[in-house]
Amino acid sequence: MAWTDTPHPLHPRHPLDTSLASRIRSGRPLRGIFNGLPSPAIVEMCAYAGFDLLIIDNEHGSADLLMTEHLLRAARASAIPALVRCFEHEIARVLDMGASGVQIPMVESAEQARELVQRVRYPLPGGLGGRRGSAFSTRAAGYGAFGGPAHTQLSNDAIVLVAMVETPQAVERAGEIAAVPGIDAVFVGPNDLAHAMGHENRWTDEPVQRAIEKALRAVHGQGKCAGVLALTPEEEARYAQWGGRYFATVTTSLITRAFRQAATDGRAELSY
């Protein structure tokens, strides 16, 4: 049977979930969840629980690249768009696996943000676009089933790029980073920020909270989506007042809290 570019008559779903771009740019609040556990089942649980997006954590998580691809498959199958938090040298590979976007830690300047945009965008005719290497044999292009200029344009239009600000220097430049064309959101990492400010993990300390507020307001002022870790409804409400609308919690935090409650509730009344 000869090869053909004609789609299958049943019109299989594109492996790339492009819904996140419109959600990020809609102005509506989003609730996401970081997951560093190498478990497709956890990904499905996050989707069925009703989170708006998943952040596969390849900065601090234990998934290798093969498992990352399986996590992305689980996300697509359960209809939750997935970012991958990864280091800069992994951008091309996780996008080829079909991530809806990337969230890059420790972005500290507009210059660095512009370089990230170049890594995420394919080149276009007329010298437009970026410098992302092109291959249509990848999962993101359906192993060739969805390759070609349409895939290139779809990726450039719909892949989400989130920059993380996690140091005092980055907070001062948060507005400049957000203003870079191609940056869709700027996410404040409060734990790293607190450590960088000399407060260890105490991001609820007043100086750290003031820095978070400054960053969120600066990003919101540029018309971009401002994000932050928010582990309680009270934190989420406070950050929303400062311009935040992309809020994220963490799978391990929720699981450990539930396990601790199950292990300790009513224990004082038990006799052995």
Residues 246, 252: Cα–Cα separation, whole Å: 19
Q: How far apart are CA 202 and CA 219, in angstroms?
A: 23
User: Which ranges of the chain would DSSP assign to H, the alpha helix?
Assistant: 19-24, 40-49, 65-77, 91-96, 110-120, 149-158, 168-172, 174-178, 190-196, 206-221, 233-241, 251-264
Q: Contact at 8 Å (CB) between 165 and 174?
A: yes
Q: Which among 8, 11, 60, 199 is annotated as catalytic?
A: 60
Side chain identity at 212, as an amino acid letter?
I
CA distance linking residue 151 with residue 138, whole number of Å: 11
Count of CB atoms situated within 10 Å of the CB of 210: 11
Reply yes or no on whether 60 is catalytic. Answer: yes
Neighbours of 265 (CB within 10 A): 9
Say how far apart CA 197 and CA 259 lie, in whole Å.
Answer: 32
| DSSP codes of every residue in 113-146 | HHHHHHHHSPEETTTEE--PPP-SSSGGGGGGTT
Cα–Cα distance, 246 to 186 (Å, whole number) = 9
Residue for token digits 């609730």?
Answer: 31
**Which residues form the catalytic set?**
60
